[in-house]
């Protein structure tokens, strides 16, 4: 991902220098290539850094079998966030809340890595971040429900 991002970035710079904006579409292609290259570089670096972080809690959370319908999971999200913020959810690390907050702010913020006036590319980063946010909340809500049911089953015995 980092290599492809770098190649796109270099291609955008080369096209901008060679064409000088005199081609059909003017500046749109070089700016689009540069923006896509920067986006892929950032995503690749984040993925590489995340692989190096100790994510034992996240790995344990994903081993628990997901439980609950979509509506039940949606209802569990506020209590999952509240219990994690208070430190009562040992399965979900607190930095995950910061990532979710950052993603929500990015989606609603008018400031983007790729400007929204670029056709298809501009809205793509918002769609990608929003999709990650929703799928992450959905998966973690299922893990939260499974852990809660396991604790209540253990308490009853």
Q: Are residues 64 and 129 in the same domain?
A: yes
Phi first, then psi, for residue 63 (nearest 5°) are -80, -20
Is residue 6 domain-shared with residue 42, that is, in the same domain? yes
Each of the 157 residues of the chain gets a pLDDT tens digit; together they read 778 878 888 888 888 888 776 666 666 777 777 888 888 888 878 777 776 766 555 555 555 555 778 899 999 999 999 999 998 887 888 889 999 999 999 888 877 777 766 666 677 778 888 888 999 999 899 888 888 888 777 654 4
Alpha-carbon span 55 to 45, nearest angstrom = 17
> 43, 9 in Cβ contact below 8 A?
no
| Threshold 0.85, pTM exceeds | no
Phi, psi of 83, rounded to the nearest 5 degrees: -70, -35
Same-domain pairing of 105 and 30: no
Do residues 36 and 6 touch, judged by C-beta distance below 8 A?
Answer: no
Burial of residue 97 (CB within 10 Å: 0-12, 13-18, 19+) is middle
Question: How many independent structural domains does the chain possess?
Answer: 2
Q: What pLDDT, on the 0 to 100 scale, is given for residue 149?
A: 84
Please give the pLDDT value at position 157: 47
Last residue of a domain, one of 38, 53, 68: 53
d(CA 120, CA 109): 18
Which domain range does residue 105 map to? Answer: 55-157
| Other Cβ atoms closer than 10 A to 137 | 20
The token pair at 152 is: 């209540």
73 and 46, same structural domain?
no
Which string of DSSP letters, residue by residue, matches 58-84?
A: HHHHHHSPP-S-HHHHHHHHHHHHHHH
């Amino acid at each position: 991902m980092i290599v492809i991002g770098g190649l796109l970035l270099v291609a955008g710079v080369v096209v901008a220098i060679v064409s000088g904006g005199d081609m059909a579409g003017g500046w749109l292609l070089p700016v689009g290539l540069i923006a896509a290259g920067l986006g892929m570089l950032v995503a690749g670096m984040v993925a590489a850094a995340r692989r190096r972080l100790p994510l034992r809690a996240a790995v344990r959370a994903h081993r628990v079998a997901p439980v609950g319908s979509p509506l039940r999971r949606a209802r569990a999200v506020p209590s999952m966030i509240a219990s994690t913020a208070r430190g009562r959810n040992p399965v979900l690390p607190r930095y995950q809340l910061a990532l979710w907050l950052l993603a929500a702010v990015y989606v609603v913020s008018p400031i983007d890595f790729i400007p929204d006036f670029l056709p298809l590319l501009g809205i793509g980063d918002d769609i990608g971040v929003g999709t990650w946010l929703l799928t992450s909340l959905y998966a973690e809500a299922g893990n939260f429900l499974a852990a809660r049911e396991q604790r209540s089953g253990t308490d009853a015995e």
